[in-house]
Structure 1
Amino acid sequence: MTTPTHTTERVACITGAASGIGASIARRLAEDGLHVALNDLPDQREALDDLAAEVQSRGVRATVVPGDISEAGGPDDVVARLVSELGQLDVMVSNAGIAEVKPLLEVSAEDWDRMLGINLRGMFLTYTAAARQMIEQGRGGKIIGAASLVAHRPFPMLGHYVASKYGVRGLTQNAAAEWAKHGITVNAYCPGIVDTPMWDLIDERLAEEEGLEPGEAKQKYTEQMISLGRMQRPEDVVGFVSYLASPDSDYMTGQSVIVDGGIHFV
């Protein structure tokens, strides 16, 4: 990677940006005036292109950098391409991840490896690729990861997902401790039950396990667990991500903050 010429403008990369929370984060950071690089798997190229056109209408630059962040060298390639297009990297939002509903006794070694390969290995590779670029630039930066409510408490039927997100929380703390000397802050956001395609899949499997109709599991957990009484929308978390990406959070690092409507109180 080459060291770009510093500008007063800022550039953010969002992984897992094709839909859900990732797409909402890209829109919010564009509204905040950041140029954005949009990443997801190559088969999501059309959705990424549409999102890039949308955010460019807000007066910022956008580039699409597809790639698998769980593969060795994948995030390094993504960062190199976005820097060649946009000149620098100031904010990395490592949002890509998957979920799967299975009782632990049914989780295979392959299930385990896939979950941790994407959610934790991919996070590690993305964090370190971003950190290397930011250190080379020499002016710090913001690294922001997607954890979850389950990084703080278990959730039945999501054991290997829970393990991956507890790992993200630990990785975030360790990265924050190691990279503070470079002016890099590292924090994570922890959503709860969010109305996204990921939670549609969780709802479908929970409904099967509990003998419910599709949609009833989400409604059940919303009514029983969420103090504010409604399911979370992507927009409910992006304001916090905007804060983490802004200078207002310069003295905050190593935190994994729950934004869940009042499910878990710490």
Structure 2
Amino acid sequence: MPVAIVTGASRGIGKAIALQLSIDGYDVALADISSQSSELHEVGAQVQQNGQRGLCILTDVSEEDDIKAMVAKTVQEFGELNTLIANAGIVKPNRLFDQTMEEWDQVMGVNAKGLFMCYREAGRQMIKQGKGGKIIGACSNAAFRPSASGVAYSASKWAVRGITQVVALELAQYGINVNAYCPGPVETEMWSEIDASISKNTGAPLGSSYEQAVQTRMALKQALTPEDIALTVSFLASSKSRNITGQSLLVDGGQYFS
């Protein structure tokens, strides 16, 4: 059985990715922070209901030792690592003059530094195995156009695009594909934080911003779901994407075109 790690796997897009990969036949190591332990183990149980092995690993992706331990535990349990989904991410949706440096460091620590360390440690393991592999990261359409999500979040996702391209170049010689997925607005827990920020800054009613985004910003005018993103990741993790690398693929209902 192929083996995948999914970070930020306890809810939202990460949960959908973990479950889709289990449907695809992967054994899945599910990683998330300790405060999400209960939800993480529920996802692990669902992976097992899909007929695959699930391993829950409490991991803070902003901590180097945690990431090294995550990869080591996965290989110890399952024997190898074939696919890494660096999905974990946070948002602190503040404007320029409201953005504290503490929040800046938190966002960059998870979204950019954490992703970089996941790419690095997964790459090391895949090179050691000598069988190639797939490394896939969470980007955003905020990495293509300015975003109401705030300056730190947008900066971190621009960083993801750059890291993905450089790592794709370095690891191509080992048969390792490195790509990223760039969702538009998806109505998850993260969007609730963005919605609260939009309401604060514009006076729009709480809970109204998502439907407005769908109707005014997306060409297809249909809501994006975590499962939509998971299906894209499923493709990038499969042999069907064998000649795609270094790409950050927009999945935003036609909001932006690259």
Task: Show the counterpart of 2:200.
Answer: 208
Find out whether 1:227 has 2:219 as its counterpart.
yes
Task: Show the counterpart of 1:30.
Answer: 22
Q: Deviations over 1:101-126 (max 9, x none)?
A: 11111112112111101100000111
Contact persistence 2:177–2:244 (CA under 8 A): yes
- In 2, the alpha carbon distance for the partners of 1:106 and 1:43 equals 27
Task: Show the counterpart of 1:147.
Answer: 139
Find out whether 1:16 has 2:30 as its counterpart.
no
- In 2, the alpha carbon distance for the partners of 1:39 and 1:135 equals 22
| Partner amino acid, structure 2, of 1:210 | T
Matches within 5 A, 1:1-266: 9-156=1-148, 158-266=150-258
Q: Deviations over 1:37-95 (max 9, x none)?
A: 00000121111111111111111111111111111222111000111111110000000
- In 1, the alpha carbon distance for the partners of 2:177 and 2:107 equals 26
| Superposed displacement of residue 231, structure 1 | 2.5
Q: How many residues align?
A: 258
- In 2, the alpha carbon distance for the partners of 1:223 and 1:28 equals 28
| Superposed displacement of residue 157, structure 1 | 5.1
- In structure 2, the gaps of 5 or more residues are none
Tell me whether 130-139 or 208-217 shows the greater mean CA deviation: 208-217
- In 1, the alpha carbon distance for the partners of 2:109 and 2:149 equals 19
RMSD of aligned C-alpha atoms?
1.0
- In 2, the alpha carbon distance for the partners of 1:131 and 1:252 equals 17
Q: Deviations over 1:205-243 (max 9, x none)?
A: 111111111111222222210111132110111111001
Contact persistence 1:194–1:233 (CA under 8 A): yes
| Partner amino acid, structure 2, of 1:105 | F
| Partner amino acid, structure 1, of 2:185 | I
- In 2, the alpha carbon distance for the partners of 1:218 and 1:171 equals 29
- In 1, the alpha carbon distance for the partners of 2:131 and 2:108 equals 31
Tell me whether 214-223 or 23-32 shows the greater mean CA deviation: 214-223
Tell me the secondary structure at the aligned position of residue 33 of structure 1: coil
Tell me the secondary structure at the aligned position of residue 39 of structure 1: strand
Over 3 Å counting, the alpha-carbon distance change for 1:140 and 1:157 in structure 2 is closer
Identity %: 43
Tell me whether 23-32 or 203-212 shows the greater mean CA deviation: 203-212
Tell me the secondary structure at the aligned position of residue 28 of structure 2: strand
Contact persistence 1:104–1:157 (CA under 8 A): no
- In 2, the alpha carbon distance for the partners of 1:62 and 1:136 equals 23
The two structures have a TM-score, normalised by structure 1, of: 0.95
Tell me the secondary structure at the aligned position of residue 97 of structure 1: coil
